[in-house]
Amino acid sequence: MTIKPELQYSKDHEWVKKEDDLFVIGISDFAQDALGDLVFVNLPEVGDAVTAGEAFGDVESVKAVSDLLSPVSGTVAEINEELLDAPEKLNEDPYGAWIIKVADVTATEELLDAAAYEAFCAEA
Amino acid sequence: MKLIFEKSVKGRKCDILPKCDVPAVELPEGLKRETAPHLPEMSETDVSRHYTELNKQVHGVNCGFYPLGSCTMKYNPRIDEEAAAMEGFTNIHPLAPKSSVRGALEVLDTLRADLCEITGMDGMTFQPAAGAHGEFTGVLLIKQYHDSRNDKNRTKIIVPDSAHGTNPATAAMCGYQVVNIPSAPDGCVDLEELKKVLGDDVAGLMLTNPNTVGIFDENILEITKLVHEAGGLCYYDGANTNAIMGVVRPGDMGFDCIHLNLHKTFATPHGGGGPGAGAVGCKEFLKPFLPHSALMEKPGRLQVRGFMGNFLVCVRALAYVMTLGREGIPEAATNAVLNANYLMQKIKGTFTPAFDRICMHEFVLDLSHYEKETGVSALDVAKSLIDYGMHPPTMYFPLIVHEALMLEPTETESIETLDWAADVFRKLYELGKTDPEFMHNAPHHTPIGRPDEVKAARNPIVRYTFA
């Protein structure tokens, strides 16, 4: 399992990267592996409000549909439309395949650094 | 095997339609198709052989054991089919004058009275076409009730994380926000978690009991009391009624409205896409909100379907209830529970039950340790069962158990079948340890081995391309 040292992680297995004023959000390698092969992604629209700890979209594998829980509160500035036609990118390159970028962030969930996240996954 | 379109021979005919005995009417130009539809052209013999060949490639309750958890794939007595095939029931029209369909109306009235008695409800509609449609209707009853009291603050429906996926979907379709609460370690409702989310913004709770891990929630009276005290209503998902019918009643557990899958618990072959019937029952105070059919002429009332629902499924249900009777209904339920416990005890010692305690009509095996040890997954075991002529159990559900296999043997299986099934599970348990590769590639004796599920979901081909 890969964990990128430069990213932060939520306990719901999303990664977060700060890019100027935007928070870039994706799912971790641990998450994509646990979910299995993804076949469908449901994304919010640009301008939608997201709330820390609440679902902003969902992903579907052959096994199940799972909510994507936002690690931050703010407004969706960009979505990765490429994923809509190619959900498998989340499996192939979880850290390259960002899902949404959030602006005007007012709150964040508790975020872990790479070492703490690795320890958290080991317990899971 | 060739598709029916590939067997088609141009010009081959099979005259099954009688000559038209009324004057032909031409459609207006704009409504006519521009080209003839692609229909296979075959003789009656070849059509018959084609479908018989297809029939040989599928597995049904009539072919063998079918322990598909949460689906109650029990054998449906032929006498129910016979009742549903009676001409007085098959050749009627929803707009026929009442005087000509009195018998059919009596079927519905009798069935309503019987099912209300079995479930502890006061009123019932047969309109919903199946389970999820019944849930939708039931939650709309709850919504109308709160609306009628001008209680507009209630925007949330509580659903436990072990629920069937249709529960949150139903709540969302009715415009509610879904509040998911985690289960306690024993798979039942966590009372503390429930208390945390209860308040004057809660419209109701959706619950199955026995729950999706096959355990009867012994706190049920406390649960429904807590929800009622917060001003919410309790909805009973009838998915697991087969375990309790005639023994304990949702109405007595404190539920305000329910649905029953008549096609599942009350004898209609199902699993092929219908038709089903999701009868919805309710307590007296919700009766004014029950949907009305197009015939009943009460404007403003909820209407979820045109007429009386899937009537013939109701005929089968009545035939089933009447043949089993007051003693037979609880006997069927208790035998379903006995069979599940027997099979669980027989399998125990190999694969591990997720909850090692007396179960109701179904139980869940947790293969996560076995998978770590051998690399053989729940999917591999499920696929291997097919080679033994057994339908796989429900896989990877409920989501709170990893590598889950959920078995519901039902009351209609004999002890010999259960012994055989346990034996097959034990054999596979050993095989996984010595030859995991063989199980990764199962099934070995079916027309199709392992279809690529991921590819099928990502790039589905849903129509045939004509040459």
Render each residue's pLDDT in chain B as its tens digit; 467 residues.
899 999 999 999 887 778 889 999 999 989 999 998 889 999 999 999 999 999 998 899 999 999 999 999 999 999 999 999 999 999 899 889 989 999 999 999 999 999 999 999 999 999 999 999 999 999 999 999 999 999 999 999 999 988 888 999 999 999 999 999 999 988 899 999 999 999 999 999 999 999 988 999 999 999 999 999 999 999 999 999 999 999 999 999 999 999 999 999 999 988 877 799 999 999 999 999 999 876 665 666 788 888 889 999 999 999 999 999 999 999 999 999 999 999 999 999 999 999 999 999 999 999 999 999 999 999 999 999 999 999 999 998 887 888 999 999 999 999 999 999 999 999 999 999 999 999 999 999 998 899 888 888 888 888 888 87
Q: Please check whether residue B70 lies inside any domain of the structure.
A: no
Specify the CATH number for the domain of residue B368. 3.90.1150.10
Residue of A nearest to B378 (CA): A63
Instruction: Give me the pLDDT at residue B5, please.
Output: 92
The highest-level CATH class for domain A13-113 is mainly beta
Q: Please check whether residue B64 lies inside any domain of the structure.
A: no
Residue of B nearest to A62 (CA): B454
At which of B277, B297, B322 does a domain end?
B322
3-state secondary structure chain B: CCCHHHHCCCCCCCCCCCCCCCCCCCCCHHHCCCCCCCCCCCCHHHHHHHHHHHHHCCCCCCCCCCCECCCCCCCCCHHHHHHHCCHHHHCCCCCCCHHHCHHHHHHHHHHHHHHHHHHCCCEEECCCCCHHHHHHHHHHHHHHHHHHCCCCCCCEEEEECCCCCHHHHHHHHCCCEEEEECECCCCCECHHHHHHHCCCCEEEEEECCCCCCCCCCCCHHHHHHHHHHCCCEEEEEHHHHHHCCCCCCHHHHCCCEEEEEHHHHCCCCCCCCCCCCEEEEECHHHHHHCCCCCCCCCCCCCCCCCCCCCHHHHHHHHHHHHHHHHHHHHHHHHHHHHHHHHHHHHHCCCCEECCCCCCCCCEEEECHHHHHHHCCCHHHHHHHHHHCCCCCCEECCCCCCCCEEEECCCCCCCHHHHHHHHHHHHHHHHHHHHCHHHHHCCCCCCCCCCCCHHHHHHCCCCCCCCC
**Cβ–Cβ pairs < 8 A, chains A and B:** 15
- Put simply, the answer to whether B454 touches A62 (Cβ < 8 Å) is yes
The B residues from 215 to 234 touching A (CB cutoff 8 Å) are none
Residue of B nearest to A85 (CA): B458
Q: And the tokens for A46?
A: 């640009």
3-state secondary structure of A3: coil
What DSSP character marks residue A20? Answer: T
C-beta of residue B410 within 8 angstroms of C-beta of residue B68: no
Note whether B91 and B43 are same-domain residues.
no
Closest chain A C-alpha to B454 CA, distance in angstroms: 6
Residue-number span of the structural domain to which B410 is assigned: 334-456
Query: Distance between CA atoms of A113 and B84, rounded to whole angstroms?
Result: 65
Which of B165, B396, B457 shows the shortest C-beta gap to A39? B457
Q: Report which secondary-structure segment, H or E, holds A32.
A: helix A29-35
- Put simply, the answer to whether B399 touches A62 (Cβ < 8 Å) is no
- Put simply, the answer to whether A64 touches B399 (Cβ < 8 Å) is yes
Instruction: Give me the pLDDT at residue B453, please.
Output: 85
B396 in reach of chain A (CB within 8 A): yes
B457 in reach of chain A (CB within 8 A): yes
What does DSSP say about strands B363-366 and B404-407: parallel, antiparallel, or unpaired?
Answer: antiparallel
Note whether B152 and B190 are same-domain residues.
yes
- Put simply, the answer to whether A88 touches B458 (Cβ < 8 Å) is yes
Considering only CB atoms, which chain A residues are within 8 Å of B458? Answer: 39, 87-88
Note whether B115 and B251 are same-domain residues.
yes
Note whether B347 and B434 are same-domain residues.
yes
Which of B165, B399, B457 shows the shortest C-beta gap to A62? B457
Note whether B350 and B292 are same-domain residues.
no
Comparing CA positions, the residue from B170, B301, B328, B165 lying closest to residue B235 is B170
Domain count, chain B: 3
Report yes or no for ipTM above 0.85. Answer: no
Closest chain B C-alpha to A18 CA, distance in angstroms: 30
Note whether B113 and B234 are same-domain residues.
yes
Considering only CB atoms, which chain B residues are within 8 Å of A37? Answer: 454
Note whether B211 and B357 are same-domain residues.
no
- Put simply, the answer to whether A40 touches B457 (Cβ < 8 Å) is yes
Considering only CB atoms, which chain B residues are within 8 Å of A87? Answer: 458
Q: Please check whether residue B65 lies inside any domain of the structure.
A: no
Note whether B284 and B356 are same-domain residues.
no
Mutate which: A62, A66, A69, A89, vs B, most B CBs within 10 A: A62
B399 in reach of chain A (CB within 8 A): yes
C-beta of residue B410 within 8 angstroms of C-beta of residue B350: no
Note whether B133 and B279 are same-domain residues.
yes
Cα B81 to its chain centre, rounded Å, is 19
Instruction: Give me the pLDDT at residue B176, please.
Output: 97
Instruction: Give me the pLDDT at residue B271, please.
Output: 81
Instruction: Give me the pLDDT at residue B296, please.
Output: 60
- Put simply, the answer to whether A62 touches B458 (Cβ < 8 Å) is no
Residue of B nearest to A67 (CA): B180
Note whether B235 and B122 are same-domain residues.
yes
Q: How far is CA B199 from CA B45, B153, B177, in A?
A: 65, 10, 14
Considering only CB atoms, which chain B residues are within 8 Å of A62? Answer: 453-454, 457
Closest chain B C-alpha to A63 CA, distance in angstroms: 7
Can you give the residue ranges of every domain in chain A? 13-113
Considering only CB atoms, which chain A residues are within 8 Å of B159? Answer: none
Mutate which: B162, B454, B455, vs A, most A CBs within 10 A: B454
Note whether B104 and B45 are same-domain residues.
no
Mutate which: B167, B197, B371, B458, vs A, most A CBs within 10 A: B458
Q: Please check whether residue B327 lies inside any domain of the structure.
A: no
At which of B322, B350, B383 does a domain end?
B322
Closest chain A C-alpha to B403 CA, distance in angstroms: 11
Note whether B298 and B444 are same-domain residues.
no
Instruction: Give me the pLDDT at residue B297, please.
Output: 58
pLDDT above 80 for A124: no
